[in-house]
Amino acid sequence: MPAYFDYNVKGEHFSLFSTYHLLTLFIVLCLSIFLYLIRNFLKKKPRDSFFRYGLGILLLLSEASYQFWLLFFHKWTLKAALPFQLSDLTVFLAAFMLFSKNRGLFSFLYFAGIGSSIQAMITPDLGLYSFPHYRYFEFYLSHGGVVLSCLFMIFTEKYRPSLFSLWMTIILINLYGVVMFLINRKLQANFLYIMEKPSNASLLNYLGPWPWYIISLEAVMIVSFFILYLPFWVKQKTA
């Protein structure tokens, strides 16, 4: 059992699109579909509140366990532990959205949360940690939870993103990127991967050298956000 929690693990490292990786992605997809199928069941109180608070607490506990894990192995550093990657930050924002039912947070998280979480789950920066290590489960629990949080607000609370919120999210992410650039220089960190590409297989590896891949990533972000908005745009036009 301790081997599943060790910081320095032996054996196979995470393998992109391995059987376990694909199965995990399939499970997240199945949970998303299942959430849609039981949406009417979850609308009724107190089930609505129970699910929202339960998922929100689960997200916070997941992140808290990661901090404790780093502290336990004396590996806690500002570079390693600060939740400044966009997909990590959205875990906390998703929990607060679930607790407060804040529409502004939903408008941001639908694009930034789902977009960054899907990207993180498809090409995770897990390094040593593969199934069934604790870090593997924590990573997919938190990022998959962000996706489910947004879908829950759509399916049961009828929240909807707008074209305005799409562009506002793009502006906010760019402003956040400027702040992260300054923090990266101060801490010699690589939050948002704007200082260098991640070591794992990633979309960034196909977007050119530094700093040009940042411009390419901006275009990819805009396109992906419009793809996320497309179902709602189609529904508006056909209503």
**Percentage of residues of the chain with pLDDT beyond 70:** 95
Which residues have C-beta within 8 Å of that of residue 171, sequence separation ≥ 6? none
Spell out the alpha helix ranges (H) of the chain.
19-37, 39-43, 47-72, 78-81, 86-100, 103-122, 134-155, 163-187, 212-238
Q: What is the pLDDT of residue 35?
A: 96
- pLDDT tens for 29-58 read 999 999 999 999 998 889 899 999 999 999
Name the maximum alpha-carbon separation found in the chain: 56
13-28 average pLDDT score: 91
Confidence of residue 20 (pLDDT cuts 50, 70, 90): very high
Q: Which residue has the higher pLDDT, 195 or 154?
A: 154
Confidence of residue 200 (pLDDT cuts 50, 70, 90): low
Q: What is the pLDDT of residue 55?
A: 96
Quote the CA–CA distance of 6 and 11 in Å, as a whole number. 12
Quote the CA–CA distance of 111 and 160 in Å, as a whole number. 11
Q: What is the pLDDT of residue 216?
A: 86
Give the domain ranges of the chain.
Answer: 2-238
CB 202 within 8 A of CB 213: no
Quote the CA–CA distance of 200 and 114 in Å, as a whole number. 21
φ/ψ bin of 158: left (φ > 0), alpha (ψ from -120 to 50), beta (otherwise): left
Confidence of residue 152 (pLDDT cuts 50, 70, 90): very high
Q: Indicate the average pLDDT of the chain.
A: 90
Confidence of residue 94 (pLDDT cuts 50, 70, 90): very high
Nearest to 117 by CA among 138, 150, 146, 84: 146
10-21 average pLDDT score: 84
- pLDDT tens for 126-142 read 888 888 899 999 999 99
Q: What is the pLDDT of residue 123?
A: 87
Confidence of residue 2 (pLDDT cuts 50, 70, 90): low
The string over 100-111, giving b where at least 16 C-beta atoms fall within 10 Å of a residue's C-beta and e elsewhere, is eebeebbbbbbb
Confidence of residue 154 (pLDDT cuts 50, 70, 90): very high
Residue 39 vs residues 49, 65, 203: alpha-carbon distances, Å: 13, 30, 33
Q: Is this prediction's pTM over 0.85?
A: yes
The alpha carbon of 70 is separated from its chain's Cα centroid by a whole number of angstroms, namely 20
192-198 average pLDDT score: 84
- pLDDT tens for 205-237 read 777 777 778 888 899 899 999 999 999 999 887
SS3 assignment, position 204: helix
In degrees, rounded to 5, the angle at the alpha carbon of residue 140 between the alpha carbons of residues 8 and 83 is 75
Q: What is the pLDDT of residue 201?
A: 56
